[in-house]
């Protein structure tokens, strides 16, 4: 009988793929006893009061990732939802406060548009840009959860149910809306369109309730984040949270924490797009670690590195299998972990606006991830001042393909094609090792400059 740690068990076996979806990347990561952080080891890392040995946790994750059965719990610490120096009781109190805050925000959204929290979602515009109601919004709902085709896939079709339209019209009728509410309602259908396209190869999203949960979390986030709102790509970032965390409020707060790392990429103004900063950072890193490749890309007209936007925006969700992408994420988070990212007594109501609160003093370098420790040793005092690890990850992927890009890329179309071909061929652990090597080389050369 095979145990869970048997090397033959791939992580994707925990995330069921729809049988007709055969053209998806295959997993390379396999759960290994003694390396992968298991439920038993995870429980043993806590003291009787609930303090977590974060150093031991990070070391184990770097060796073999996290077992899917505890992934959500571990992510809450990696993303800074909880302070490892907190007790079980303190964390539960904070969790309850956050749950209450999320419920308040969700109710605020429901009052403006009652489809929120109804188990349904919309995929067509509900208002015009000047705030006028569109009388017949298209609502996506599952017509019959018991309607199953011969291949075992339940049918989900766009419909216009009378009761749902009545609910919508009751709230979005002749009322005065400010600019913020208009902008929010304009994004709701785009969120819906993206939700029904996100991770559709997974059996998980055959259930209407799971689609609706993803839509609700994104809709609430779009309302409370006044600067960013919602942008395409955020559904790819949020979807794993919905899958690995059963409670919707917990999923929301994990997503909110991850967005603190990424929201600058999604912020757009009339003059610039947020991700341009990371593209510029990527160009700078590549120029340092592989100047010949950088010059070649410049000669092809790709010096702005726009071909790497997708990798930066959704953190390699398209290049890896679903399970491997989660493994990649937790490896990156473990490497760049900074204990100052955890603010145990932070008021949940201050989320987003105060996402850069003052740091605690005197943190132990031993409690930091390997990537963050390298920053500290080289005078980068916190992760805000340094470049994120995913920039080095993209740079290392480019460097690994340097020979092919130099020989076969004669235009930007060739660059895109070569990078598209890496889908399914990357190894998450090796990719992180490559990122660390690129980071080390970058810091060494930057120090000499």
Compute the average pLDDT of residues 86-94. 96
User: Which tens digit of pLDDT belongs to each residue from 298-308?
Assistant: 999 999 999 99
Compute the average pLDDT of residues 98-116. 97
pLDDT at 348: 60
State yes or no: pLDDT of 4 exceeds 70: no
Range in 6-20, 169-183, 245-259 the model is least confident about: 169-183
State yes or no: pLDDT of 151 exceeds 70: no
Confidence of residue 270 (pLDDT cuts 50, 70, 90): low
pLDDT at 143: 33
Q: pTM of this prediction?
A: 0.88
Cα 406 from chain centroid (whole Å): 32
pLDDT at 381: 58
pLDDT at 138: 56
**Which is higher by pLDDT, 167 or 129?**
129
- Mutual angle of helices 370-377 and 322-335, in 10-degree steps: 30
| Domains of the chain as residue ranges with CATH | 100-242 (no CATH), 276-448 (1.10.472.80)
For residue 122, list its beta bridge partners: 139
State yes or no: pLDDT of 8 exceeds 60: no
**What distance in Å separates the CA atoms of residue 7 and residue 2, rounded to the nearest whole number?**
9
pLDDT at 445: 82
pLDDT at 9: 75
- Residue among 96, 333, 152, 349 nearest 237 (CA): 333
Range in 242-251, 387-396, 439-448 the model is least confident about: 439-448
Confidence of residue 27 (pLDDT cuts 50, 70, 90): confident
State yes or no: pLDDT of 408 exceeds 70: yes
pLDDT at 26: 85
Dihedral over alpha carbons 354, 358, 360, 364 (to 10 degrees): 90
Range in 74-88, 131-145, 328-342 the model is least confident about: 131-145
Range in 19-33, 55-69, 105-119, 199-213 the model is least confident about: 19-33
Range in 14-23, 285-294, 334-343, 392-401 the model is least confident about: 334-343
pLDDT at 162: 45
Sheet holding 157-159, edge to edge: 121-122, 139-141, 157-159
pLDDT at 272: 66
Average pLDDT, the chain: 85
State yes or no: pLDDT of 190 exceeds 90: yes
The residue behind tokens 């994104």 is 218
pLDDT at 363: 58
For residue 273, list its beta bridge partners: 268
**What distance in Å separates the CA atoms of residue 308 and residue 293, rounded to the nearest whole number?**
14
Helix, strand, or coil here: 343?
coil
Confidence of residue 56 (pLDDT cuts 50, 70, 90): very high
Confidence of residue 339 (pLDDT cuts 50, 70, 90): confident
Confidence of residue 288 (pLDDT cuts 50, 70, 90): very high
**What distance in Å separates the CA atoms of residue 120 and residue 117, rounded to the nearest whole number?**
8
pLDDT at 173: 47
371 within 8 A of 261, measured Cβ to Cβ = no
349 within 8 A of 384, measured Cβ to Cβ = no
State yes or no: pLDDT of 323 exceeds 50: yes
3-state secondary structure 36-55: CECHHHHHHCECCCCCECHH
Residue 120: phi, psi to the nearest 5?
-120, 170
Compute the average pLDDT of residues 347-365. 52
H or E, element range at 93: helix 88-112
Helix, strand, or coil here: 202?
strand
């Amino acid at each position: 009988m095979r145990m869970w740690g048997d090397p033959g068990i791939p992580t994707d076996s925990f995330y069921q793929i729809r049988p007709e979806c055969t053209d998806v990347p295959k997993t390379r990561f396999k759960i290994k006893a003694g390396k992968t952080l298991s439920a038993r080891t995870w429980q043993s890392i806590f003291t009787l009061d609930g303090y977590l040995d974060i150093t031991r946790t990070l070391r184990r994750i770097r060796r073999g990732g996290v077992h899917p059965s505890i992934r959500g719990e571990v992510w809450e610490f990696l993303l800074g939802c909880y302070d490892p120096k907190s007790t079980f009781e303190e964390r539960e109190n904070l969790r309850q406060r956050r749950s209450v805050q999320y419920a308040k925000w969700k109710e605020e959204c429901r009052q403006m548009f009652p489809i929120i929290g109804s188990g349904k979602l919309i995929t067509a515009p509900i208002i015009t840009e000047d705030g006028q109601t569109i009388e017949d919004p298209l609502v996506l709902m599952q017509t019959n959860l018991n309607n199953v085709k011969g291949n075992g896939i339940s049918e989900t079709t766009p419909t216009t149910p009378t009761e749902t339209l009545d609910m919508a019209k009751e709230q979005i009728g002749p009322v005065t809306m400010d600019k913020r509410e208009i902008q929010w309602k304009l994004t709701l259908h785009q969120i819906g369109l993206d939700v029904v396209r996100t991770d559709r190869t997974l059996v998980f999203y055959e259930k209407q309730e799971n689609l609706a949960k993803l839509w609700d979390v994104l809709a609430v986030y779009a309302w409370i984040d006044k600067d960013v709102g919602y942008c395409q790509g955020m559904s790819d970032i949020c979807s794993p949270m919905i899958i690995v965390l059963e409670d919707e409020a917990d999923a929301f707060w994990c997503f909110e924490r991850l967005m603190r790392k990424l929201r600058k990429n999604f912020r757009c103004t009339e003059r610039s797009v947020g991700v341009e900063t990371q593209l510029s950072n990527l160009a700078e890193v590549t120029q340092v670690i592989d100047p010949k490749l950088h010059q070649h890309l410049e000669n092809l007209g790709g010096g702005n590195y726009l071909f790497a936007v997708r990798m930066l925006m959704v953190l390699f969700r398209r290049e890896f299998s679903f399970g491997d992408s989660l493994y990649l994420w937790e490896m990156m988070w473990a490497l760049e972990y900074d204990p100052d990212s955890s603010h145990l007594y932070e008021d949940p109501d201050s989320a987003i606006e105060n996402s850069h609160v003052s740091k605690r003093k005197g943190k132990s370098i031993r409690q930091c991830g390997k990537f963050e420790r390298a920053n500290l040793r080289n005078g980068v005092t916190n992760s805000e001042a340094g470049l994120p690890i995913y920039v080095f990850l993209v740079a290392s992927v480019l460097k690994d393909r340097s020979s092919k890009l130099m020989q076969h890329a004669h235009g930007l179309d060739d660059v895109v094609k070569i990078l598209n071909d890496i889908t399914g061929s990357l190894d998450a652990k090796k990719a992180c090792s490559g990122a660390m090597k690129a980071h080390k080389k970058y810091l060494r050369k930057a120090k000499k400059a």
